[in-house]
Amino acid sequence: MNKPWLAHYPEGMPAELGPVPYASLADLLNEAFERFATRPAFRLMGVDLTYAQLDRASAQFAAYLQGLGLKPGDRIALMMPNVFQYPVAVAGAVRAGLVVVNTNPLYTPRELEHQLNDSGARAVVVLENMAHTLEQCRPQVKSVEHIVVTGVGDMLPGLKGHLVNFVLRHVKRAVPRYSLPGAVRWRDALKQGRAGHFKPVRRTPEEPAVLQYTGGTTGLAKGATLTNSNIVSNVLQSELWNSPATRLVPAGEPVVTVCALPIYHIFGFTVNMMLSLRQGGCNLLIPNPRDIPAVIKALNSGPFHLFPAVNTLFGAIARHKDAGSVDWSRLVLSVGGGMAVQRATADQWLKLTGSSICEGYGLSETSPSAACNIVTSKDYTGTIGYPLPSTEFAILGDDETELPLGQTGEIGIRGPQVMAGYWNRPEDTRRAFTPDGWFKTGDVGVMDETGAIRIVDRKKDMINVSGFNVYPNEIEDVVTRMPGVAEAAAIGVPDENSGEAVKLFLVRSDSSLSKDAVKQYCRDNLTGYKRPREIEFRDELPKSGVGKVLRRALRD
């Protein structure tokens, strides 16, 4: 196929990846531990976790997992925000040959139950603040045999760690009561691992490394099966693409990346954690990116160079009164992904920091990065840029054949970062690919003569809230189970803070049903970003001739 984008690559940028030096993520980690032992790998609350410490702790956790009888290929769910335990658990699981199931710690019991049952996870590591959620769905989950519970401060040194846990448990009351018989505390798990023996495991490039759950048109989340090769390839692709910017960091100075993206999100998992470990960099962990004063405090703790984030966070920081107190002089690259970067936000960010937001594009199914703008450009293009090395894009017509440049159709992607398929869903996998091997993204776009791609619409009715996919069918399925609701339809509406928000249209079977009651029901059954911001009651919903609700008519 014609690849017009190659003519517009930065000078020296290869069209293809070279030989991949790792068979697995474990190989990547082992090399990093050996090369960068004395460097800080992660920083949290003023404390550094070095590569050597990450090596030791993850080996102990791997030994603990092996001591439980967990075998290569078994799944382990990790349900935590950005704390030291997350990368330790990831590295331990990967080194033991397990498959990581990234799990949103804000899930409701219903959502968590589905993901654990669907993945068949045999073990769970959960932050104690969210352990009550696991307790509520535990009786309905038969695969989980082992639970490890941890506190935020469990890997902070001495008195500091104890103080953080005490404040969260007893002062802020942030740890609801829970009962999980047989659960093991994180520190006890590491202690058992120290007494055991870690046996290194060899995994192949084609074997699964991560299950990354994404919404589905059926309303049920599907696990994108990401192999070792998928994620390793995407790390190397991102490293190549970012290199014109990262070369601006002074020689010998470890690259510090702001990690405000949650590591359980594939953007944070690959572009923050794995890429930084590959390069011997340090991730500045931000546990709660919604707390902008805390984010700014963390940014004031020392120099930083890379800042991947979503439009929402860039905008919130740029508008904050204390943003000018931050030293932005070392920032060489700001990468926007997860949702569209708005021009107003890009202008505000450039004025504040001197760094333009380089917009990229990807999906859970592409590990995630597939395209990006030129990292040294100061211009806002309104496009998602060009395909990364070894990646092909095509605009597909309704018959799934490639359309000429300038025509609008569904975006298709081929490349080494594209998933193996959906976990245990062969029919969904088959439908996701064309006979020519294009992964069908569900996004509608157009490619110009340079090969740059502009997204113009979404083929699916997916709603994007701060970079998180929200699928209307799931919202409607949940809400229509509520007594008093006859019909429901969910759409996305523009929102200044989150890009989009959920608006819910309802037809009542009980006229006494109130908006407050619906909102409470949604709080009980939906993660925060999925809950409707607006609710509108209607006598009827617009429908097609066959009775299908017309969401587009509601949007219009």
Contact between residue 47 and residue 160 where contact means Cβ atoms under 8 Å apart? yes
Q: In whole angstroms, what is the distance from residue 135 CA to residue 338 CA?
A: 31
Identify which of 395, 507, 386 has the alpha carbon closest to the alpha carbon of residue 459.
395
3-state secondary structure of 409: strand
Q: In whole angstroms, what is the distance from residue 136 CA to residue 180 CA?
A: 10
pLDDT tens, position by position, 239-269: 999 999 999 999 988 999 999 999 999 999 9
Task: Say if residue 400 is in the same domain as residue 508.
Answer: no
Domain boundary (141, 170, 203) is at 203
Pairing of β 532-537 and β 499-508: parallel
Task: Say if residue 415 is in the same domain as residue 473.
Answer: no
Q: In whole angstroms, what is the distance from residue 200 CA to residue 63 CA?
A: 9
Domain boundary (458, 479, 510) is at 458
Contact between residue 79 and residue 67 where contact means Cβ atoms under 8 Å apart? no
Q: How many domains does the chain have?
A: 3
Q: What is the pLDDT of residue 343?
A: 87
In sign, the C-alpha dihedral spanning 5, 11, 15, 16 is negative
**404 in a domain, yes or no?**
yes
Q: Is the pLDDT of residue 121 over 50?
A: yes
DSSP secondary structure code for residue 439 in this structure: E
Where in 297-346 does DSSP place strands (E)?
306-309, 333-336
pLDDT tens, position by position, 288-334: 998 999 999 999 999 999 999 998 899 999 999 999 999 999 999 99
Domain boundary (420, 438, 458) is at 458
Task: Say if residue 483 is in the same domain as residue 452.
Answer: no
Instruction: Give the least confident one: 145-159, 166-180, 481-495.
Output: 481-495
Q: What is the pLDDT of residue 218?
A: 47
Task: Say if residue 59 is in the same domain as residue 131.
Answer: yes
